[in-house]
Chains A and B, each alone.
Chain A
Amino acid sequence: EVQLVQSGAEVKKPGESLKISCKNSGYSFTSYWIGWVRQMPGKGLEWMGIIYPGDSDTRYSPSFQGQVTISADKSISTAYLQWSSLKASDTAMYYCARLTVGATFVYFDYWGQGTLVTVSS
């Protein structure tokens, strides 16, 4: 059974750093892309970026380039999303999801449960 299990909710202050995780099981972690998706309170889904754990190829949506860092540790089948200096506007739910890619399609077929990040002074 494919499972993506994310780390727990975080409450941080502006300027602090943070790294959240997404533990994958039930499939070959190095054979699929993993993506991160942001959902701000009461808003829609936003594609942040993706990583291919097999070779660590990472691609960021232009809106998130330079704002976050996506990484993966294939030895423990875990993907990460990190911030070096949080802002109040980073307050959101963050989802990881497994991405299947074809020549003309992409889809996120399995999702983590989400990690709520709250940034407040």
Chain B
Amino acid sequence: SSELTQDPAVSVALGQTVKITCQGDSLRSYSASWYQQKPGQAPVFVMYGKNNRPSGIPDRFSGSSSGNTASLTITGAQAEDEADYYCNSRDGSGNHGVFGTGTKVTVL
């Protein structure tokens, strides 16, 4: 399958930890990347692979992977982390890319 499945929505209390997951067969072979998108804004690249953060992304964001599941964890969530999050990887053929279905994170 070339699909990447995410939970539609999760909520987290301010300062607590939330894990966003991405499932797909292609993740057994290829790493995931992660993007944060706030309303009315372009996506922002926040993570790829196992805990590789681009410069400027806070270290409360971390990445991990096991089997067919990739995860993005926010440890100590802040109000500004409220956004939609998308995973991305190659599809099963390796010739194309595919985005996950997206997860809306609400910080309470």
- A46–B88 Cα gap in the complex (Å)? 10
Out of B29, B96, B99, which one reaches A44, CB within 8 Å?
A: B99
Contacting B at CB under 8 A, from A25-62, are 35, 37, 44-47, 50, 59-62
Contacting A at CB under 8 A, from B17-37, are 29-31, 33, 35, 37
Residues of A within 8 A of B48 (CB): 105, 107
- A36–B16 Cα gap in the complex (Å)? 35
Out of B31, B35, B102, which one reaches A105, CB within 8 Å?
A: B31
- A61–B33 Cα gap in the complex (Å)? 18
Assuming the A-B contacts A47-B88, A104-B31, are A109 and B97 also in contact, with contact meaning beta carbons closer than 8 angstroms in the complex?
Answer: no
Residues of A within 8 A of B99 (CB): 37, 44-47
Number of A-B contacts (CB under 8 A): 68
Assuming the A-B contacts A50-B97, A109-B54, are A45 and B44 also in contact, with contact meaning beta carbons closer than 8 angstroms in the complex?
Answer: no
Instruction: For B87, give the chain A residue with the smallest CB separation.
Output: A45
Produce 1/0 per residue, B21-61, CB < 8 A to A: 00000000111010101000011110011000010000000
CB distance B102 to A108 under 8 Å?
no
Chain B positions near chain A (C-beta within 8 angstroms): 29-31, 33, 35, 37, 42-45, 48-49, 54, 84, 86, 88-90, 95-102
- A99–B99 Cα gap in the complex (Å)? 14
Instruction: For B93, give the chain A residue with the smallest CB separation.
Output: A62
CB distance B33 to A95 under 8 Å?
no
Assuming the A-B contacts A44-B86, A45-B35, A45-B86, are A106 and B97 also in contact, with contact meaning beta carbons closer than 8 angstroms in the complex?
Answer: yes
CB distance A45 to B89 under 8 Å?
no
CB distance A106 to B42 under 8 Å?
no
Most B-side CB within 10 Å, residue of A104, A107, A114: A107
